[in-house]
């Protein structure tokens, strides 16, 4: 996450945000424990935190994979868009939101991307600790490519990825164990209630609600869903046995792909294995 947007607007420093996140997890855990709610499994939370540490270490070593193509595309940008007015920031916000929606949709539909993203969906309890359960090596799978069109158009790279970083900070709070109802805002914003549906493995709502800060693109493109009535939401990856081993969690889908690669024959079969739908 970038520390500063191009305009100088501060985004929480990663270390400061990590500390705040841990404190909020503790508050949420104690709140639910005092109210006798089984919202946290200490072993699953420990696995999530171990995965989060590995994610940050690998992200630090692979950030150059993103920097090089971003600098190249920026050098061939079509326009120079000054970030000196509100209109430019609104346009960038909507552009990042649309790019994130497409990226997130692709992470659920393309196995190469799902292999990393599945880690985030592997928690069987949705709470703030699940928010930091992120797959390792995301830079290497090329997710940043979805944001390069904004750089090519002419938005400053730091502004693009800073805005994305701000969106990810917002999304941390979407993982509340007890989501509040936000009234009319539920029509426009991606809220904890909408995000619970996104994480659900129930067949009726599988692969829905891909938005970042906004839910409007899901409503526009037909991927929005509300929680099914009379049916409790079940979390985790559908059809995959849950694990408390961080290494197994982050490698499960990759190992499965590797094994299938060994028995696949022909270019078409192998391309389908990599870029076809998960499952």
Cα four-point dihedral sign 247, 59, 108, 216:
positive
pLDDT for the residue 8: 38
* pLDDT, position 37: 87
* pLDDT number for residue 248: 97
State the pLDDT at residue 12. 56
- For 86, other C-beta atoms within 10 Å of its C-beta total 7
Predicted TM-score (pTM) above 0.85: yes
Helix (H, G, I), strand (E, B), or coil: what is residue 4? strand
Q: What pLDDT does 6 receive?
A: 36
Tell me if 93 sits within 8 A of 12, measured CB to CB: no
Sites in the chain below the pLDDT cut of 50 = 1-10
* Burial environment of residue 15 by CB neighbours within 10 A (0 to 12, 13 to 18, 19 or more): exposed
What pLDDT was estimated at residue 5? 38
What is the predicted pLDDT for the residue at 278?
A: 93
């Amino acid at each position: 996450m970038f520390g500063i947007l191009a305009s100088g607007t501060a985004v929480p420093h990663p270390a400061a945000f990590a500390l705040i996140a841990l404190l909020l997890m503790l508050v949420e855990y104690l709140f639910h424990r005092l109210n006798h709610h089984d919202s946290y499994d200490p072993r699953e939370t420990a696995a999530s935190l171990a995965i989060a540490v590995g994610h940050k270490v690998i992200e630090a070593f692979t950030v150059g994979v993103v920097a090089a193509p971003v600098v190249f595309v920026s050098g061939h940008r079509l326009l120079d868009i000054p970030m000196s007015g509100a209109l430019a920031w609104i346009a960038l916000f909507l552009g990042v939101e649309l790019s994130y929606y497409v990226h997130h949709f692709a992470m659920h539909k393309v196995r190469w991307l799902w292999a990393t993203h599945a880690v985030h969906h592997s928690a069987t309890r949705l709470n703030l600790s699940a928010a930091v359960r992120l797959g390792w090596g995301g830079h290497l799978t090329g997710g940043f490519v979805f944001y390069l069109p904004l750089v090519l158009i002419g938005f400053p790279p730091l502004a693009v990825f800073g805005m994305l970083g701000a969106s990810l900070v917002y999304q941390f709070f979407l993982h509340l164990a007890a989501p509040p109802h936000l009234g009319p805002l539920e029509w426009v914003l991606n809220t904890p209630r909408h995000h619970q549906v996104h994480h659900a493995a129930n067949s009726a709502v599988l692969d829905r609600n891909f938005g970042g800060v906004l839910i409007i693109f899901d409503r526009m493109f037909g991927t929005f869903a509300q929680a099914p009535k009379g049916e409790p939401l079940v979390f985790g990856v559908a059809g995959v046995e849950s694990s408390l081993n961080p290494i197994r969690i982050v490698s499960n889908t990759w190992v499965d792909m590797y094994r299938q690669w060994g028995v696949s024959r022909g270019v078409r079969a192998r391309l389908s294995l990599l870029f076809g739908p998960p499952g």
